[in-house]
Amino acid sequence: MSASCCTGQPSFDGASRAYKRVLWVVIGINAVMFAVETGAGYLAGSMALQADALDFLGDTMTYGVSLAVIGRSMAWRSGAALVKALSLGVFGCWVLGATLYRTLYLGMPEPLTMGAIAVLALFANLVSALLLYRIRDGDANVRSVWICSRNDAIGNVAVIAAAGLVAWLASPWPDLIVAAAMAVLFLSGAISIARQARAEMTTAAGAGAE
pLDDT at residue 136, as a whole number: 63
Split at pLDDT 50, 70, 90, the class of 32 is: very high
57-84: average pLDDT: 76
How confident is the model over 83-139, as pLDDT tens digits? 778 877 887 787 777 777 666 665 667 788 888 888 998 899 888 878 877 766 666
Amino acid in position 43: L
Split at pLDDT 50, 70, 90, the class of 7 is: very low
How confident is the model over 44-61, as pLDDT tens digits? 777 778 777 877 887 787
CB of 129 closer than 8 Å to CB of 190? no
pLDDT for 200 beyond 70: yes
CB of 142 closer than 8 Å to CB of 26? no
Q: What is the pTM of this model?
A: 0.68
CB of 147 closer than 8 Å to CB of 189? yes
Pick the closest to residue 52 from 135, 141, 130, 149 (CA basis). 149
pLDDT at residue 9, as a whole number: 46
Residues whose CB falls within 8 Å of the CB of residue 186, separated by 6 or more in sequence, listed in order: 55, 58, 88, 89, 91, 92, 95, 151
CATH class in words for 15-209: mainly alpha
SS3 210: coil
CB of 146 closer than 8 Å to CB of 19? no
pLDDT at residue 15, as a whole number: 63
Position with higher pLDDT, 136 vs 62: 62
Domain ranges for the chain, please list them: 15-209
Asked which of 3-7, 85-89, 117-121, 196-200 is least confident by mean pLDDT, the reply is: 3-7
Split at pLDDT 50, 70, 90, the class of 10 is: very low
